[in-house]
Amino acid sequence: MQLRVGAGEPWDAWVRWTLAQGLVGLENLILIPGTVGAAPIQNIGAYGVEVARSILSVEAWDRERNCFVELPANDCAFGYRDSRFRREPQRWIISAVRFNLAREGALHLDYAGIREELAGMRVEQPRAVHVAEAVLRLRTRKLPDPALIGNAGSFFKNPQIDAALAATLRMRHPGLPQWPQADGSIKLSAAWLVEATGCKGLREGDAGISERHALVLVNHGAASGAQLWALAVRVRDAVHMRFGVLLEAEPRVLP
């Protein structure tokens, strides 16, 4: 089923609507703040699913050509938390997104936390609504509510490294989660790396790392952007010094 959604629609409300219609595909992405139009810019993802897998095309105003265009998903250069819209922010103004969703389809249960949550819910044959409920419980428990404490969600991307470095780290740190990628690289858990440096719960003034999730940078009150960035750099450098892996910020940091 193809559906066209305006860019200004709230993302979470859209996901909940698809669930109410019995559609499959976006259940892992429930409770992510933001709008439908922002989703392809970052190629938002959570719990093993990226939005790109459900996007048919993106409609946008092209500021170079002064016209509306419809870009098929293959022309959007989607990558891990990346797209051509993120790389060319001055060119594109997204107006709508076309999705391809179905009433039946495989659920993505690769993330261990979802399987554990479903087991705790005593769900043996999960449907999309069950997966969404499991994700809701996980996010509510692990991530601070931005309405209560300032944060931008996960601040660091999961780094991708070459197989040789991954093998070395596997020998030295057997507990470090690693996920092989299609291009031969290995993706690591940024949260595990940050927590292993002891930075989880770190606080400098009102800038801090959440005690609930090692990737979430939080503002406890009046921290400035510069103070938050200084803390992020401290965490990034700590990970680099210990593991030789350089973390990259997930949100776009404005000067």
CA triple 105-111-113, angle to 5 deg: 120
**Amino acid letter, residue 24:** V
Q: Give the active site residue among 54, 81, 117, 189.
A: 81
Residue 20 CB contacts under 8 Å (≥ 6 apart), including other chains: none
The yes-or-no answer on residue 86 being catalytic is: no
- Report the distance separating Cα 217 and Cα 144, nearest Å: 10
* Mean of all residue pLDDT scores within the chain: 95
Distance from the Cα of residue 212 to its chain's centroid: 17
Pick the CATH number of 1-142 from 3.40.920.10, 3.30.420.40, 3.30.465.10, 1.10.287.3510: 3.30.465.10
DSSP 139: H
The yes-or-no answer on residue 81 being catalytic is: yes
**Of 107, 103, 94, residue with least CA distance to 39:** 94
The residue extents of the domains of the chain are 1-142, 150-243
Strands 2-6 and 49-50: unpaired
150-243: in CATH 3.30.1370.10: no
- Tell me the pLDDT tens digit for each residue of 64-76: 999 999 999 999 9
- Report the distance separating Cα 54 and Cα 52, nearest Å: 5
The yes-or-no answer on residue 84 being catalytic is: no
Residue 252 pLDDT class (50, 70, 90 cuts): confident
Give the rounded percent of residues in the chain with a pLDDT score beyond 70: 100
- Tell me the pLDDT tens digit for each residue of 124-164: 999 999 999 999 999 999 888 888 899 988 999 999 999 99
Q: Give the active site residue among 54, 57, 154, 189.
A: 154
Asked if 1-142 and 150-243 have one fold, the answer is: no
